[in-house]
A and B are shown apart, each in its own frame.
Chain A
Amino acid sequence: AQSVSQHNHHVILSEAASLELGCNYSYGGTVNLFWYVQYPGQHLQLLLKYFSGDPLVKGIKGFEAEFIKSKFSFNLRKPSVQWSDTAEYFCAVNHRLYNQGGKLIFGQGTELSVKP
């Protein structure tokens, strides 16, 4: 069955700490990978995405993610978090086949709380 698993339900960090959020997927075929963020009171926004090429992708606000195909993982990282990074983070995957890309499969989300 197709699934996305996020290892941490709730992460609490102090400002300037480094962040790594784990994401593993189980999905047959070639996939596209995404990280979305939902700030308090706001809608889901795309942080970054990976389709092909360099497995290290950079997104907005200093976030980056690394695709490791052999581990079916797409972990999100940030060297130094800020209080404004407090949000819920979702990893998602879809199929790369044309006309099959509408179905994004999301993980259960990781709530990040950054203490000032």
Chain B
Amino acid sequence: DAGVTQSPTHLIKTRGQQVTLRCSPKSGHDTVSWYQQALGQGPQFIFQYYEEEERQRGNFPDRFSGHQFPNYSSELNVNALLLGDSALYLCASRFGTSGTDTQYFGPGTRLTVL
């Protein structure tokens, strides 16, 4: 049973470019959340997708957008990249939207913006 998978593993972009990160949830999971983890910090919640809609959003600008597909996989898009967007981007999946459901995290995508 595969866990949460993310691609790519690493990515280098320059300021002003756009990036798309991908996530496949753990088998049986239908809800995907995205987090940004800056170096030396805890993860920060970006948004959550359920039933192909954004259900919750953290304090991130509109440059951050996402999508969920019918197979529950998800994409995170970041436009007009800034140096401060350099971070580890984590995807987490679970079944349903109850707060008691454990979120399972993927290995992350390391984004470097030059």
A residues neighboring B (CB under 8 Å):
4, 32, 36, 42-46, 49, 51, 90, 92, 94-109
Contacts and interface: CB of A to CB of B under 8 A. Distances in A.
A46 B48 CA distance: 19
Contacts of A105: 45
Contacts of A100: 56, 99
Interface stretch (B12-20, B61-69, B79-87, B101-109): B101-109
A2 B61 CA distance: 19
B105 A44 contact: yes
Nearest to A106: B42
Dominant SS at the A interface?
Answer: loop
A100 B99 CA distance: 6
Interface residues of B, number: 29
A44 B99 contact: no
B31 A102 contact: yes
B105 A103 contact: no
A44 B100 contact: no
A51 B101 CA distance: 10
Given A43-B108, A44-B105, A98 B97 contact: yes
Interface in B3-60: 4, 31, 33, 35, 40-45, 48, 50, 55-56, 58
B42 A102 contact: no
A103 B48 contact: yes
A103 B57 CA distance: 8
Given A32-B100, A94-B99, A97-B99, A102 B56 contact: yes
20 contacts: A43-B4, A43-B106, A43-B107, A44-B105, A49-B102, A90-B42, A94-B99, A99-B97, A100-B99, A101-B100, A101-B101, A102-B45, A102-B50, A102-B55, A103-B33, A103-B56, A104-B43, A104-B45, A104-B92, A108-B41
A65 to B, nearest CB: 15
Nearest to A93: B99
A81 B31 CA distance: 35
Contacts of A109: 40-42
B78 interface: no
Contact of A103 (B42, B50, B58): B58
